[in-house]
């Protein structure tokens, strides 16, 4: 019995891990992500996410070059100057001022050279000016609340019911039969493409982190603090983008996915108008009901 439970828990974990790996590779269609691409970070669908990717690749190749030089010199020295070949240790290198200056100066130059593009990207990443839409995101155990501050629209976004039912041990539902298992929500965040969207990220209970790799956004949601982030999705890339809470926030940390529905500006405006009307009517209905009693 215990063994059967362990096996089903392991199967659940394997399915969840595979699905999460695919989703976090940043491609809304998991069938397009395969092979070596799964090992690298996604290029994403915003200008900023591509700049982060380019920076990551630049630093990666600098590291590869350093590794080749350092390990090459080490291996060459070990092979050619081994004791069995009669090599005698050269003691003139010990406390050699010229050598010490060189091996201090070279890493300093490399680090400064890497800091320049890194700082430039970081400054741009933090620039939340000239945004056109502001959305407040509040993380809670276990889900997200989205609030369109200037339009008076807000709603909760939680793990979709089918995933929630299938994740229970002994539920009798095969997770493989649930589409986007553990990656779907009931109400996705809807945003327009080609618009600089500002996010105000906070939390209601413990620390969470709003992470959507395709946008190059990962921001901690801390109770009592408001963190800022922004993204601007390419105009030609509407679609569904997925993410996860990236801060170990408690028992159901793994069950608070993020889904962003990126729509054209017109579609978004229509959706927002409808949603605002719906919520206004619901609020009016709620207020009217006690009065009628
Ligand atoms: Cu969380």
pLDDT band, residue 91 (cuts 50/70/90): confident
The pLDDT, as a whole number, for residue 34 is: 73
Written as one string, the DSSP assignment of 82-132 is: -GGGT----GGGTT-HHHHHHHHHHHHHHHHHHHHHHHHHHHHHT---S-S
Distance separating alpha carbons of residues 219 and 138, to the nearest angstrom? 11
% residues pLDDT > 70 (the chain): 86
Distance separating alpha carbons of residues 78 and 69, to the nearest angstrom? 14
State the distance from the centre of ligand 1 to the C-alpha of 137, rounded, in angstroms. Answer: 12
State the distance from the centre of ligand 1 to the C-alpha of 57, rounded, in angstroms. Answer: 29
State the distance from the centre of ligand 1 to the C-alpha of 287, rounded, in angstroms. Answer: 33
pLDDT tens string 163-185: 999 998 888 899 899 999 999 99
State the distance from the centre of ligand 1 to the C-alpha of 269, rounded, in angstroms. Answer: 30
Do 135 and 154 contact (CB within 8 A), yes or no? no
State the distance from the centre of ligand 1 to the C-alpha of 23, rounded, in angstroms. Answer: 17
pLDDT tens string 138-161: 999 999 999 999 888 999 999 999
Q: Which helix (H) or strand (E) holds 200?
A: strand 197-203
Q: pTM (2 decimals)?
A: 0.80
State the distance from the centre of ligand 1 to the C-alpha of 161, rounded, in angstroms. Answer: 18
pLDDT band, residue 94 (cuts 50/70/90): confident
State the distance from the centre of ligand 1 to the C-alpha of 107, rounded, in angstroms. Answer: 39
State the distance from the centre of ligand 1 to the C-alpha of 267, rounded, in angstroms. Answer: 30
State the distance from the centre of ligand 1 to the C-alpha of 248, rounded, in angstroms. Answer: 6
By residue count, the chain amounts to 293
Q: Is the peptide bond before 142 cis (omega within 30 degrees of 0)?
A: yes
pLDDT tens string 4-49: 444 444 444 444 444 444 444 444 444 466 788 788 988 999 999 9
The pLDDT, as a whole number, for residue 211 is: 97
Mean of the per-residue pLDDT values for the chain?
87
pLDDT tens string 237-275: 999 999 999 999 999 999 999 999 999 999 999 999 999
The pLDDT, as a whole number, for residue 78 is: 93
């Amino acid at each position: 019995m215990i063994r059967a439970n362990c096996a089903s828990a392991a199967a659940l974990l394997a399915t969840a891990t595979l699905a999460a790996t695919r989703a976090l590779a940043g491609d809304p269609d998991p069938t397009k992500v395969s092979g070596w691409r799964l090992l690298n970070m996604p290029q994403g669908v915003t200008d900023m996410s591509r700049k982060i990717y380019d920076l990551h690749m630049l630093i990666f190749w600098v590291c590869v070059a350093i590794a080749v030089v350092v390990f090459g010199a080490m291996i060459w020295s070990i092979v050619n100057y081994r004791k069995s070949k009669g090599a005698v240790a050269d003691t003139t290198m010990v406390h050699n001022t010229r050598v010490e200056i060189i091996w201090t100066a070279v890493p300093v130059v490399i680090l400064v050279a890497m800091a320049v593009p890194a700082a430039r990207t970081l400054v741009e990443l933090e620039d939340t000016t000239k945004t056109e839409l502001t959305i407040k995101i509040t993380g809670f155990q276990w889900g997200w609340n989205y609030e369109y501050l200037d339009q008076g629209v807000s709603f909760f976004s939680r793990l979709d019911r089918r995933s929630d039912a299938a994740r229970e041990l002994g539920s009798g539902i095969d997770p493989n039969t649930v589409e986007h298992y553990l990656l779907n929500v009931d109400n996705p965040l809807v945003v327009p493409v080609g618009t600089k969207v500002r996010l105000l990220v906070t939390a209601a209970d413990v620390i969470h982190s709003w992470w959507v790799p395709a946008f190059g956004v990962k921001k901690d949601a801390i109770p009592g603090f408001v963190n800022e982030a922004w993204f601007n999705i390419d105009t030609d890339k509407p679609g569904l983008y997925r993410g996860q809470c990236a801060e170990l926030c408690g028992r159901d940390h793994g069950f608070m996915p993020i889904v962003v529905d990126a729509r054209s500006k017109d579609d978004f405006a229509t959706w927002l108008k409808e949603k605002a009307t719906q919520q206004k009517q619901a609020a009016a209905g709620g207020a009217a009901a006690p009065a009628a009693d």
